[in-house]
Amino acid sequence: MPLISIITVNLNNLEGLERTMNSVFEQTWQEYEYIVIDGGSTDGSKEYIEQHSDRIDFWASEKDSGIYNAMNKGIKVATGRYLLFLNSGDQFYSKYVLDRNFKFLKIKDIIYFNVQVEAKDSSTLISYPTQLRFSDLLYGTLCHQSVFIKYELFQKVGLYDETLKIVSDWKFIILALFKENCTSNKIDDILTIVNTDGISAMPENDTVIIEERNNVLNNHFSAFLIEVQELYELKSIVRNLKKSRKINLLIKLGLLNKF
């Protein structure tokens, strides 16, 4: 059994696929299993995969019902202890990153890293907290490209929800951590560079994202959503008070205790 299964999902993104596959192939640590699931591309992606099939443990090119259907296909054929989804267009941060970090893949259910997000005109480093709170995922997410997931977790939580269009990977993580109480560990290193051309980054999909998230939260966490929202609003008030010059002056004068 290999330690890592790297799964790449692609559909008509030959340029991104080349970048992703080269990023995998150039890793100095090569003891991984590589799986490529193509959705029946017509742009030359299938031919490119065939040209490099000697370096791929499993690949398929056939129509699917969406990105999560393709990711689930990858899960079903994976044999690694930990799974990582590095979809077409995404890449490892450096050719040494697996060599430097594979030793941390043990015991914990979820191992997550920082991620570099690349847009056309900007680059942003996302550094996740060491201890994930419910509010971190309520208002944010973990990029799946930065997360190693123990294989058994898909048996415990289930495969990705194919009825969702955009947030199924977010749903999996929030259920794993805060409903199934799965364990996690943060490694303070940049694992991957994420391209923002994906479906979740398109502004026209913001409404779908909000609707899908709300449905998940109401179905699984409705009992304490009100309290979480109230706590978040109180924290916002405190943050704003800390920025107030009048409040800071009163603290300096000793008329108000620091909070």
Distance CA 136, CA 149 (A): 18
Select from 166, 183, 29, 37 the least CA-distant residue to 112.
183
Q: What is the pLDDT of residue 249?
A: 54
HSE-CB for 14 with a 13 A CA cutoff: 12
Cβ neighbours of 49 (radius 10 Å)? 22
- Residue 56, classified by CB atoms within 10 Å of its CB into exposed (0-12), middle (13-18) or buried (19+), is middle
Distance CA 152, CA 108 (A): 11
Pairing of strands 32-38, 91-92: unpaired
Is 202 in contact with 247 (CB distance < 8 Å)?
no
Distance CA 206, CA 35 (A): 30
Q: What is the pLDDT of residue 250?
A: 52
Q: Which tokens sit at 60? A: 């398929």
* Domains of the chain by residue range: 4-203
Q: Does domain 4-203 have CATH number 3.10.105.10?
A: no
- The string over 101-136, giving b where at least 16 C-beta atoms fall within 10 Å of a residue's C-beta and e elsewhere, is bbeebeebbbbbbbbbbbeeeeeeebebeeebeeee
Select from 168, 25, 7 the least CA-distant residue to 80.
7
Is 138 in contact with 161 (CB distance < 8 Å)?
no
Select from 63, 50, 6, 67 the least CA-distant residue to 200.
67
Q: What is the pLDDT of residue 182?
A: 97
Distance CA 40, CA 68 (A): 15
pLDDT by 10s per residue, the chain, length 259: 899 999 999 999 999 999 999 999 999 999 999 999 999 999 999 999 999 999 999 999 999 999 999 999 999 999 999 999 999 999 999 999 999 999 999 999 999 999 999 987 889 999 999 999 988 998 889 999 999 999 999 999 999 999 999 999 999 999 999 999 999 999 999 999 998 765 445 556 789 999 999 899 999 988 877 776 776 666 666 566 566 665 555 555 555 566 5
Specify the 3-state DSSP secondary structure of 104: helix
Distance CA 27, CA 130 (A): 26
